[in-house]
Amino acid sequence: IKGNAGLLGLEFISQKAHEFEQIISDSKNDVDSFISRKSEIFVIINQINETLHEIRGLIVIMKDFYEDFKKEHGNKGELLVNAIYGLVNKAKEENKLQVKFNYRHFDAKALPADVFLNVKDILIQLTRNTLAHNCNSNNKSDNTLNISLMSDLIDQDIVITYEDNGIGLQYDKIKAKAIEDKKYTQDELNSMSQNELAELIFASGLSTTEEADMNSGRGMGMCIIKQKIEELGGRIEVDSQEGKYCNFKIVIPQN
């Protein structure tokens, strides 16, 4: 909710969702604390519901207009690209991050409509993660973060590649977080290959960000991405070299 609201410019909802997340996080191991803040939680929920009610009214008005507009001017690729550029421009403005986005070899028209909607959400989440993890990084000599998006059709499968040249996966942080969350022991982690460690980013609740903020969450995004892809009958593979790049390969059946 927080991330999507921020993407749409609904800062009030994004802020309230962040406050709600923070209360839950602070109280997850303290039932008494959670109960004592119950009224505060209800106030936040009511504020969000009131705002959502107003937004629903606007959506009803806009829906017919959008359908007519889409028939004449709609382009799936433009919808996705504009959404990603919205994130990129926000990162440039707020974090002084230099970003280049290359999508010349991505063909949104090859994606069926139902698949496209899920792929759009997935690629937006990957972009959000890239920007969140690299916003404070100075590891590049030219201080430029390059994000590339490509697609291809191979043996009746839609293959989408998302890659950035940022800080890559930080394997020591992944191990530390897995131990902190009591998901694995040190011995189990030491016996894992780099590819197996990379797969841990899809575990629910595992995040290497030091502190959740308005742009980064608490490790649910990657878990949801994998679930969405598997619901489409596909798979996601990750390849990364720390300090150099991170590459995600998404394979989805065309039919």
| CA end-to-end span of the chain | 30
Task: Say what the pLDDT of residue 117 is.
Answer: 86
Q: Are 3 and 200 in contact (CB under 8 A)?
A: no
Write down the pLDDT at residue 165: 94
Give the ranges where the chain is alpha helix by DSSP (H): 2-7, 11-27, 31-36, 38-73, 76-95, 113-134, 171-180, 186-190, 194-199, 221-231
Confidence of residue 73 (pLDDT cuts 50, 70, 90): very low
- Report pLDDT digits (tens) over 7-26: 445 566 667 666 767 766 76
Instruction: Name residue, tokens 């530390």.
Output: 176
Mean pLDDT of the chain: 80
CB 82, CB 73: distance < 8 Å: no
pLDDT at 148: 97
Does the pLDDT at position 247 exceed 70?
yes
d(CA 220, CA 11): 20
What is the structure's pLDDT at 130? 92
Q: Is the pLDDT of residue 133 over 70?
A: yes
Amino acid at residue number 135: C
Query: Percent of the chain, pLDDT > 70?
Result: 73
**What pLDDT is recorded for position 255?**
77
Distance, CA of 135 to CA of 210 (rounded, Å): 13
Specify the higher pLDDT residue, 38 or 148.
148
pLDDT at 138 over 50: yes
pLDDT of the residue at 8: 47
Quickly list DSSP for 197-243: HHHGGGSTT----SS--SS--SS-HHHHHHHHHHHTT-EEEEEEETT
Q: How confident is the model at residue 5 (pLDDT cuts 50, 70, 90)?
A: very low
